[in-house]
Amino acid sequence: MKIVVIGGGPAGLYFSYLMKRDNPNYDVRLIEQNPRDATWGFGVVFSDRALEFLRADDEDTYQYLMPHMEAWPDLKIVHKDEHMAIDGNGFAAIGRLEFLNLLQARCESVGVALEFERVVDSLDDFADADLIVAADGVNSFIRRANAEAFGTSEEQLQNPFVWFGTTQSFDCLSLTFRENTDGVFVAHHYRYSPTMSTFIVETDADTFRNAGFEAMNDAETRAYCEAVFAPDLNGHKLVSNKSEWRWFPQMGNKHWSTGNIVLLGDALHTAHFSIGSGTRLAMEDAIALFKAMAEHEGDLAGALARYEEIRRPALKKIVDAAVASAHWYEQMAELMRTLEPYEFARNYMTRTGRVSDERLQKIAPKFMERYKQHQAS
């Protein structure tokens, strides 16, 4: 079987690895536009629960990746200078580039042919492929070229965000809310290596306008954000890597394949970064497609239908949670002004509807104890 994968992000790399690992006689080829050692952004996080999927399905890869991760047991929320630890919310982080490099090595260890620095802009060269996997990310040209067949819907979320890094080291995944005369900001920040942290700054539409970000260059934007988060950066600078304001797209597809082309990862769906799940979803898609291909060997149409059938329900739950989370951030100005720190943090933790107060009591008993003390005082 000839498989061509377009896009060397987590979805494409992991799917290629799984297919070639179990089918050494297949011809699996992956094409990536970037050089091997380049990507955008900084680190990514996985929740403890998010990594369990990998452990359950592929213990070897889990053990291979874990030593490269920075892990911590709590989440921290900062509002009105109150630093609130939320126990029971473990996360692990890794540099995006390091993660991709590890997956590339994994692919090469089983014989996947990786080709870098080639931008694919037509599928004509792959007419002899049995399966074409569109793992070319959120701006997938393959999906856009077949938007009608896939039934793509896309809507832009309101809050702009910019993905920086910094040399300031943080204890754990933190959400720091700050306000100035222009409006409100939140930084999603965490250490992903001993020397570097991710620092994503998000704001709302009004603040973006009041601050005049539209007219600022990269250095001015960094200087502005450094001033807003001065208490948290402790003198460290923000670092750019193609760091510009973006608006997160909420995108999905009615059909996941057309003919012998199938969508995977961000090319198929988006889930707002505030729930830290995009990479995990991309890898879960890869596992689902791999399993469906194994179940329906020799029957591509059956395999692609099975992929959708097994993956859609689980995906929907996470995507719905991500939409609820993104909308919570769009209301953050009102919430920051009206809620006191502990109530604000409780509201945050229950924002997606997936965690009730009872569940929060179970997973974060120390936080809930402090929450109750504050309510009573």
Q: Are 61 and 106 in contact (CB under 8 A)?
A: yes
d(CA 18, CA 110): 9
CB of 105 to ligand FAD, least distance (A): 16
Decide whether 143 or 178 has the Cβ nearer to ligand FAD: 143
Based on CB atoms, which residue is closest to ligand FAD, 200 or 333?
Answer: 200
Give how far Cα 76 sits from Cα of 87, 168, 173, 364, 374, Å: 9, 16, 6, 12, 17
Nearer to ligand FAD, 159 or 279 (CB): 279
CB distance 307 to 155 below 8 Å: no
**178: helix, strand or coil:** strand
Residue 308 Cβ vs ligand FAD, minimum distance, rounded to whole Å: 17
Tell me whether residue 3 or residue 282 sits nearer to ligand FAD (CB atom).
Answer: 282
Q: How far is the CB of 273 from ligand FAD (least distance, A)?
A: 4
- Kind plus residue range of the DSSP H or E element containing 262: strand 261-263
Nearer to ligand FAD among residue 9 and residue 160 (C-beta):
9
In the complex, least distance from residue 342 CB atom to ligand FAD, rounded to whole angstroms: 25
Helix pair angle (48-57, 278-295), 10° resolution: 20
Q: Minimum distance between the CB of residue 6 and ligand FAD, rounded to whole angstroms?
A: 5
Nearer to ligand FAD (CB atom), residue 127 or residue 376: 127
In terms of CB distance, is 162 or 303 closer to ligand FAD?
Answer: 162
Q: Which residues bind ligand FAD (CB under 6 A)?
A: 6-12, 31-34, 41, 44-46, 119-120, 135-137, 141, 161, 163, 200, 265-267, 273, 276-280, 282
CB-CB contact of 98 with 8 (8 Å): no
Residues 6+ apart with CB under 8 A from 354: 317, 321
Pairing between strand 261-263 and 131-134? parallel
DSSP line for 326-360: HHHHHTHHHHHHHS-HHHHHHHHHTTTSSS-HHHH
Could you tell me the smallest distance in angstroms from the CB atom of residue 5 to ligand FAD? 9
- How would DSSP label each residue in 31-66? E-SS-TT--SS-EEEEEHHHHHHHHHH-HHHHHHHG
Which lies closer to ligand FAD via its Cβ, residue 43 or residue 183?
A: 43
Cβ proximity to ligand FAD: between 256 and 273 the closer is: 273
For residue 263, the minimal CB distance to ligand FAD (Å) is 9
Dihedral, 235, 241, 244, 246 alpha carbons, nearest 10: -110
Nearest to 45 by CA among 82, 75, 11, 16: 75
Q: Is 293 helix (H, G, I), strand (E, B) or coil?
A: helix
The C-alpha atoms of residue 141 and residue 135 are separated, in whole angstroms, by 10
Minimum distance from residue 277 beta carbon to ligand FAD (Å): 5
| Cα 192-198-203 angle, rounded to 5 deg | 155
State the minimum distance, in angstroms, from the CB of residue 50 to ligand FAD.
7
